[in-house]
Amino acid sequence: MTVLTENDLEFDFSSAMEAIIFDDDALHNPSSLKRVDFIAEFDDRFVFLEIKDPDMPGAVNPEAFKTKLLTGNLIPDLAGKYRDSSWFWSLSGKATKPVYYIVLISMASLDPALLLAKQDELKRSLPITHKDWSAPCAAGCAVLNLDQYKKHFGANSVRRLSAGG
The full set of domain ranges for the chain reads: 3-163
Query: Residue 163 — pLDDT band, cuts 50, 70, 90?
Result: confident
Average pLDDT over residues 153-159: 95
11 or 72: which carries more pLDDT confidence? 11
- Pick from 165, 28, 33, 13: which is nearest to 102 by CA? 13
- Tell me the pLDDT of the chain averaged across its residues: 93
Residue 31 has pLDDT above 80, yes or no: no
Residue 135 has pLDDT above 70, yes or no: yes
Residue 165 has pLDDT above 70, yes or no: no
Output 138-141 pairs: Cβ under 8 A, ≥24 positions apart. 138/82, 138/86, 138/98, 138/99, 138/100, 138/101, 139/45, 139/98, 139/99, 139/100, 140/100, 140/101, 141/82, 141/100, 141/101, 141/102, 141/103
Residue 27 has pLDDT above 90, yes or no: no
Residues β-bridged to residue 18: 41
The pTM of this model reads 0.95
Burial of residue 52, with CB atoms counted within 10 A of its CB: 0-12 exposed, 13-18 middle, 19 or more buried: buried
Residue 149 has pLDDT above 80, yes or no: yes
